[in-house]
Amino acid sequence: MPLKTLRVELLTMTPDPLPLIYAAFRQCYHAGFVADMWPRLLSGEISRDKQAEFVQSVLESGHDSPVEHVSFTFAVEGISRACSHQLVRHRIASYSQQSQRYVDESEMDYILPPAIARIPEARERFEGLMREISQAYRDLKGLLSEHGRAKSANEDARFVLPQAAETKIVITMNCRSLLHFFSLRCCARAQWEIREMALAMLVLCRERLPAIFGAAGARCERLGYCPESERFTCGRYPLRDNGA
């Protein structure tokens, strides 16, 4: 029943993402057919720097729907069920999550919140409870098996599993969804676990597509001010001057 830590890997992404986004943007403003310029985009006749400059300038105007044509797929492990419940609230995405119905959790992995880890008494109580829950799960599976439910024991025994239980998930989001996801979940006020995951995903996105994700992150970083109210701001950026 080991303690698990976050791991985020990029599995795949749309090939040639920058030329594709450039072409999609250009089609909105170009009288011709962008398929005719596609070979020039791929060959570099229209340089990647020029493509990036054009894309960034249009994004700054608030026009961002063409970035939906590019998507990223991540594999994530070492997050809790509490974290995945927050994640799947981002609806314009695809998820494939490890099933507690089919995967045996007799040796349940779990996530330990840092705030609990820093307090010895709290950590001892937390880890003791994780052991108790794992034992209860095994006991229930045994009792269910004795009463003819061996093939489906997991689906009922799982009801005792905690939100701390570790899960693994595959996530696909397009760039527009990712930008929105990062704007909310990279914020200092986001829950610590999903923020850690979002920041790890953002690093991978910036490496692969800096023209889109170079300035991505919490809303305050892009805006230069905190869009939250005085009650909720973390103080990292000044509040917006509503009188301006």
Summarize pLDDT for 209-222 with one digit per residue, the tens. 999 999 999 988 88
Which pLDDT score is estimated for 26? 94
Q: What is the mean pLDDT of residues 83-87?
A: 98
Q: Is residue 79 scored above 60 in pLDDT?
A: yes
Question: Mean pLDDT over residues 103-131, rounded?
Answer: 97
The pLDDT of 186-203, averaged and rounded, is: 97
Does position 243 have pLDDT exceeding 50, yes or no? no
State the amino acid at position 19 in one-letter form: P
Q: What is the pLDDT of residue 1?
A: 60
Question: Which residue has better confidence, 243 or 216?
Answer: 216
Give catalytic status of residue 185 as yes or no: yes
Q: Please report which helix (H) or strand (E) contains residue 132, including its range.
A: helix 120-146
Q: Give strand ranges (E) for 23-97.
A: 71-80, 94-97
| Number of other residues whose CB lies within 10 A of the CB of residue 41 | 21
Q: Which tokens is 194 given?
A: 């999903």
pLDDT at residue 244, rounded to an integer: 42
Residue of 7, 185, 222, 231 marked active site: 185
Secondary structure of 20-37 in HEC code, one letter for each residue: HHHHHHHHHHCCCCHHHC
Q: Which residue has the higher pLDDT, 57 or 242?
A: 57
The closest of 224, 230, 100 to 165, measured between CA atoms, is 100
Average pLDDT, the chain: 94
3-state helix, strand, coil in the chain (%, to 5): 50, 15, 35
Name residue 220's amino acid: C
Mean pLDDT, to the nearest integer, of 79-91?
Answer: 97
Phi, psi (5° rounding) for residue 232?
A: -110, -10
- Are the C-beta atoms of residues 72 and 178 closer than 8 Å to each other? yes
pLDDT above 70 covers a percentage of the chain that reads 98
Tally Cβ neighbours within 10 Å of residue 93: 16
pLDDT tens digits, 17-50 = 999 999 999 999 989 999 999 999 999 999 999 9
**What is the distance between the alpha carbons of residues 215 and 202, in angstroms, rounded to a whole number?**
10
- pLDDT-wise least confident of 2-11, 48-57, 126-135, 217-226: 217-226
Work out the pLDDT band at 2, boundaries 50, 70, 90. Answer: low
CA atoms within 13 A on the CB side of 132: 7
